[in-house]
Amino acid sequence: MGQTAASAVGMQTDRFIDLEDVSLIYGEQEQTLALDKVDMSVKRGNFVAIVGPSGCGKSTLLKLVSGLVPPTTGSVSINGSRVTRPVQSVGMAFQNPLLMPWRTTLKNIVLPLEIVARTPMRYRKHETEHIAKARQLLASVGLKGFEDKFPWQLSGGMQQRASLCRSIIHNPEILLLDEPFGALDSFTREELWQAMQDLWIRERFTAVLVTHDLREAVFLADIIYIMGGRPGNIIKRYEVDFPRPRSIDLMVNSQFLEIVQELRGFIADARKSPS
């Protein structure tokens, strides 16, 4: 991906990712106001979740942070520097793992490093250490022994584990997660929440998760931003203070369930509000 102003040396700030008064209009003739005056900040190393009704612009926020889409008005900054083009130090994971079917699991993981290297010669210079890191990441998410398997030989949960490894192989400062667990069954999803938490605790990247699953948001996040309906805006910032590491058993905790219900109430109210 291209270089960004945010990768230059910027002033250290408590607001590592910062969206100020951001609005986004889609279309030229038939214009649609997708986001309206959004203010959101994320501290370095935090795990943030964004929840809200369908179509409120949650995934659009990730595109703004990554620099793939510029705001119509307002500003998006990373580490004090304004984002004006695609951000280099970002990893992304989506609902679909998007693994290359002709590459083994290991080769899929190192693909971002091959792209960053730009030439086979530059990649081969550090290939041994790249492969070692990929093997370490795969082992950390329970995929040791599956390095030489192709995607079609892996279950959906295994493919998503591999996708998470690929998204952080290049040591991104920011990991953007667009409903990466949404297509999985409940049991596999909970397993991957644990794997995601373990990766974040070990690597300490800044994570921004978009999800419809409120339990997922409460389990993984430090801060939850709740968005209202169209046009999308932030209606509440909610802090989650459960200690880490968090166990799946936490989800039967009465306080956990109360938070989930409270968040559900905010989103229900947002759906009722006139657009």
* 79 falls within a domain: no
| pLDDT for res 5 | 33
Interval 249-273 mean pLDDT: 90
| pLDDT for res 119 | 56
Our separate counts of H helices and E strands in the chain read 9, 10
pLDDT tens digits, residue range 132-185? Answer: 999 999 999 999 999 999 999 999 999 999 999 999 998 899 999 999 998 899
Angle between helices 156-168 and 127-140 (to 10 degrees): 130
* 4 falls within a domain: no
**Most confidently predicted of 13-17, 51-55, 257-261, 266-270:** 257-261
DSSP string, 84-151: -S--TTEEEEESS----TTS-HHHHHTHHHHHHH-SHHHHHHTHHHHHHHHHHHHHHTT-TT-TT--G
CATH number at residue 226: 3.40.50.300
- Rounded to two decimals, the pTM is 0.88
pLDDT tens digits, residue range 1-17? Answer: 333 333 333 344 478 99
Q: How far, in whole angstroms, is CA 21 from its chain's centroid?
A: 22
Domain span at 61:
45-69+84-272
Question: Which residue type, as a one-letter code, is found at position 31?
Answer: Q
* 76 falls within a domain: no
Mean pLDDT of the chain: 89
pLDDT tens digits, residue range 211-255? Answer: 999 999 999 999 999 998 778 899 999 999 999 999 999 999 999
Q: Is the pLDDT of residue 100 over 90?
A: yes
What 127-135 contacts at long range (C-beta under 8 Å, 24+ apart), as own/partner pairs, is: 130/169, 131/106, 133/169, 134/106, 134/109, 134/110, 134/165, 134/169, 135/106
Return d(Cα 246, Cα 194) in angstroms, integer. Answer: 8
Backbone angles phi, psi at 181, to 5 degrees: -110, 5
| pLDDT for res 120 | 60
* 22 falls within a domain: no
Q: Are strands 90-94 and 81-82 parallel, antiparallel or unpaired?
A: unpaired
| pLDDT for res 10 | 38
* 268 falls within a domain: yes
The angle formed by the CA atoms of residues 160, 165 and 171, to the nearest 5 degrees, is: 145
Of residues 97 and 10, more confidence is placed in 97
Q: Residue 142 has which token pair?
A: 């329970």
* 40 falls within a domain: no
| pLDDT for res 137 | 95
pLDDT tens digits, residue range 38-96? Answer: 999 999 999 999 999 888 889 999 999 999 999 999 999 999 999 999 888 899 999 89
* 109 falls within a domain: yes
CB 166 within 8 A of CB 193: no
Q: How many domains is the chain partitioned into structurally?
A: 1
Of residues 113 and 258, more confidence is placed in 258
Q: Residue 11 has which token pair?
A: 């002033």
* 167 falls within a domain: yes
